Chains A and B, each alone.
Chain A
């Protein structure tokens, strides 16, 4: 059974960089046809896609966050990571990582981590 687990600091100061890691177990992050993504959800609000990475390192980012986001992958550790720079209170959210299979029939974020709350505050 595939499992994803987010990890990282739960509190980040304004203007600093938020860093999270997603560890994948029960499957290989290097499997062909699978992308891996980050999604966030501010308290009491809806879901927002942050970005997606392929094991080769190819990325897609939400244009609204692109200037501040970096997503990277470490296939040796079966992990992918998120860095969001110059954070403000508006970046306070539950951050989820998810698997994103790409098939001829379409795409779906099918497996999700449990999420981790990151609060931006001094």
Chain B
């Protein structure tokens, strides 16, 4: 049971837009920055979005992040087959005094 809640899977057609939600509480998302990670099969997680909505250098601007209250979202526009991966949200939790993650969302590009 993950502290942050994500849908287990999402799917959409190429060139379309998809969003992945991440729900938490006041001790994590509500009070701290949300980060998003992309994990390709057999690879380490890669930072995709940090501090709610910032893109690291080299990350495509097809990816965007947003946050409202205790929930956050990752949006991917212009879907490509290479976007098929697992996506995780993460935030520091003040009650746990540590990192908490979502359970991950598997994106399938139809």
Contact = CB atoms under 8 A, between A and B. Distances in A.
Given A51-B98, A108-B50, 18 more contacts: A46-B88, A46-B103, A47-B88, A47-B104, A48-B101, A49-B98, A49-B100, A52-B99, A60-B98, A63-B96, A106-B33, A108-B51, A109-B45, A109-B99, A110-B47, A110-B50, A112-B45, A113-B44
A106 B51 contact: yes
A52 B92 CA distance: 12
A96 B47 CA distance: 14
Q: Is the interface of A mostly helix, strand, loop or mixed?
A: strand
Contacts of A96: 44-45
Contacts of A60: 97-98
Interface string A39-62: 100000011110110000000111
A107 interface: yes
Contacts of B17: none
Interface in A14-62: 37, 39, 46-49, 51-52, 60-62
Interface in B82-97: 88, 90, 92, 96-97
Contacts of B35: 108-109
A106 B65 CA distance: 15
B7 interface: no
A87 to B, nearest CB: 20
Nearest to B56: A110
29 contacts: A37-B99, A46-B101, A46-B102, A46-B103, A47-B37, A47-B45, A47-B104, A49-B98, A52-B98, A52-B99, A62-B96, A96-B44, A96-B45, A100-B99, A106-B32, A106-B33, A106-B52, A106-B92, A107-B32, A107-B92, A108-B33, A108-B35, A108-B51, A109-B47, A109-B90, A110-B50, A112-B44, A112-B45, A114-B43
Interface in B35-76: 35, 37, 43-47, 50-52, 56
A110 B35 CA distance: 9
A76 interface: no
Contact of A107 (B33, B37, B56): B33
Nearest to A100: B99
A100 B92 CA distance: 11
